[in-house]
Structure 1
Amino acid sequence: MFTGIIEEMGTMRRVGKQGQAMILTVEASKILEDVRLGDSISVNGVCLTVVAFDGSSFTVDVMPETFRKTTLQHLQPGTRVNLERAMPANGRFGGHIVQGHVDTPGRIVSRHTEQNAVVFRVEPDDSSRMKYVIPHGSITLDGISLTVVNVEENAFTVSIIPHTLAQTVLNGKMPGDRVNIEFDLLGKYIDRLLSFGRREEAPAGQSGERLTMEFLSKHGFM
């Protein structure tokens, strides 16, 4: 579990590919202070497991499912990446609940300056997931916890303050560049519960519309 508050930017030292499997070695400093084998580290918003490390880098495996569903497949040696360690139980919750499970990649459509902020307009590859995006709700881009400004049919905008821009890989992102998107966890769970509620409660040939107390009790939520 992460919070979407980036701790540092790392640099890809090695990108090994064999088919759709990858081994990544990332140069870093701050996140190596207490690293252990098996630790979870978010790399551009993707939760990965440390399989080796030394005083200046750590190594992770990327399985084919992650390769297909994220922008990690485009990494090259020298590429900068956002890094965050898993949240400690006694840590501050500075962003929002981030799992490091990318829902869909997306494309930056535009970028413009608005006084002291930079506004990015982003189109998810999977537009059906736009149902999880709400104005002023939380969203994660490349592991960064951000607030949605505007929502369109197939795109949304976020506004980035100078500090966040300077401390993350968004500083170098331009229209056409790709980002990993993770939508707010709460919306995804509610949608899943509602879909089961409609399926089990609706008469044949009709669509149900309510998540009832009986449904929650039946499925162990009460």
Structure 2
Amino acid sequence: MFTGIVEELGRVVALEVEGDSARLRVAGALVTSDAEHGSSIAVNGVCLTVIESGTEAAAAGEFTADVMAETLDKSNLGDLKPGDPVNLERPMKLGARLGGHLVQGHVDGVGTVLERTPGEHWEVVRVSLPAALSRYVVDKGSITVDGISLTVVEADRDAFTVSLIPTTLELTTLGSKGPGAPVNLEIDVIAKYTERLLGLDGATADTSADTAADTTTKEVAA
């Protein structure tokens, strides 16, 4: 579990595609300083597993992770090239302060930076929103963009806006991503669980709506 507070701006060392998977190597001195074999590190919001020993990773200041087909399909990791900056975060510690919001590192889809509007001390960035995710995004709610915990300013059916403070612009990939750049999106997991528990997902939601309509018709007829 992560918080969406980026600890370090790392750098892609290599991305080797191996059929329907890939092996990604990333440089990040801070996140590898206490890494161990099997440790989790979020890369642009994607939870990946360190495959070398912690001693090797710490000594090199780099770590390697395998990226499966599902991750390549649902994220922008497959588009990375050597030298590209990436947002890095280690998992939160139980009992520590939750600076952002609960982030799983499980990307739900990819959006695209549509436009940037600079302000005196910040920028407003508009990002496209896949149709399947739009119902989970609300004004002043939380969303994770490339691993960064952000507050939604305005949510539309096909896009949303966020305001970026100077620290976010300076220390994350969103400081340099222009229109057309893909970004990983993870919606608030609480919204997904709430929908599931209320039986509002997919076919269940349709069934519930039909049942409600039938009940209303009977009451009117009576």
Question: Matched residues in 1 for 2:66 and 2:180: separation?
Answer: 27
Shift of 1:208: 4.5
1:24-57 alpha-carbon deviations (Å, 9 max, x no partner) = 1111111112111101100000001110143210
Q: Classify the secondary structure of the residue corresponding to 2:26.
A: strand
2:168 counterpart of 1:175: no
1:199 touches 1:208 (CA, 8 Å); kept in 2?
A: no
1:164 CA displacement: 1.1
1:107 aligns with 2:112: yes
Partner of 1:83: 88
CA 1:57–1:114 in 2, change beyond 3 Å: closer, same or farther? same
Point out the structure with the larger helix share. 2
Aligned-residue Cα RMSD (Å) equals 2.0
**Partners of 1:181 and 1:96 in 2: CA distance:** 14
Q: Hey, what's the Cα distance between the residues in 2 that align with 1:97 and 1:32?
A: 22
User: What amino acid maps onto 1:189 in structure 2?
Assistant: Y
Which residue in 2 is equivalent to 1:130?
134
Match of 1:219 in 2: none
Q: Which runs of 4+ in 1 moved over 3 A?
A: 196-200
1:1-222 map, 5 Å: 1-52=1-52, 53-54=56-57, 55=59, 56-124=61-129, 126-195=130-199, 199=204, 206-208=210-212
Query: Which deviates further from its counterpart, 57-66 or 191-200?
Result: 191-200
Would the alpha carbon gap of residues 199 and 105 (structure 1) be closer, same or farther in structure 2, given more than 3 Å must change? closer
Shift of 1:91: 1.9
**Aligned partners of 1:27 and 1:58 also within 8 Å:** yes
Inter-partner Cα distance in structure 1 for 2:80 and 2:42:
15
8 Å contact 1:15–1:24 — kept in the other structure? yes
**Secondary structure, counterpart of 1:14 in structure 2:** strand
2:71 counterpart SS class: helix
Indicate the residue corresponding to 2:220 in structure 1: none
TM-score by length of 1: 0.88
Identity of aligned residues (%): 45
- Conservation of the 8 A alpha-carbon contact between 1:3 and 1:97: yes
Per-residue deviation, 1:20: 2.5
Distance (Å, rounded) in 2 between the aligned partners of 1:12 and 1:101: 20
TM-score in terms of structure 2 length: 0.88
Q: Which runs of 5+ in 2 are unaligned?
A: 214-222
Post-superposition Cα deviations, 1:190-216, rounded to whole Å, max 9, x if no partner, equal 11122269949x68x82459xxxxxxx
